Amino acid sequence: MDEELDQALDAVGPRLRDLRRQRETTLAELSKTTGISVSTLSRLESGVRRPTLELLLPLAKAHGVTLDELVGAPPTGDPRIHLRPVSRGGMTMVPLTRRAGGIQAFKLVIPANSRNEPDPRTHEGYEWLYVLNGRLRVVLGEHDFVMNPGEAAEFDTREPHWFGPADEGESVEFLSLFGKQGERAHLRARPKDRS
């Protein structure tokens, strides 16, 4: 048992380094976010310092992963994924991805009773939407349109945008893939050059 524990703790440092690099974050930026000194973070990543719960909790939060993922805890045999919904601005967001950085996937549910006036916002990034149930009203720049189930849209989030239910008394559910600026949800393949 002690050998397994030692192996798990030894693997934490490289895992921390990989997560930080995936997010393209410096030790100084991570230190600012977590309140852990740069030297302690460096020693954790190199394996010189053993991780403690007091260090791992803020690091897991900063990287957007569970503590189990951070320490590589063995599976419990339960195959279910336990998603933790977040409510923000009247809508419920269910994260479908757990890895830090890269393209993030969410299921969003906007309840029927949240029929508010459009208040378009902007932020860095690129977004792809796919409507699952209900009808989604999208205000995107000067465009105001309704998306039905099965329809998709993609746009630069620096364009002012807002989402809401299109029909009074009906909720809407949709998927959102979001990436930092320049990251797109898909790549277009082209035929192989045969020359």
Phi/psi of residue 22, nearest 5 degrees: -60, -35
- Of 3-12, 38-47, 146-155, the one with minimum mean pLDDT is 3-12
3-state secondary structure of 31: helix
Q: What digits encode the pLDDT tens for the residues 112-139?
A: 877 678 889 888 888 899 999 999 999 9
DSSP string, 41-105: HHHHHHTSS---HHHHHHHHHHHT--HHHHHTPPP-S--------EEETTEEEEE---SSSS-EE
Q: What is the pLDDT of residue 113?
A: 75
- 88-93: average pLDDT: 79
Dist. CA 61–CA 3, nearest whole Å: 27
pLDDT of 29: 92
Highest mean pLDDT out of 23-27, 33-37, 88-92: 33-37
Nearest residue to 19 via CA among 45, 38, 1: 45
Is residue 195's pLDDT more than 60? no
The pLDDT tens digits of the residues spanning 39-87 come to: 999 999 998 998 888 898 888 888 877 777 777 766 666 666 666 777 7
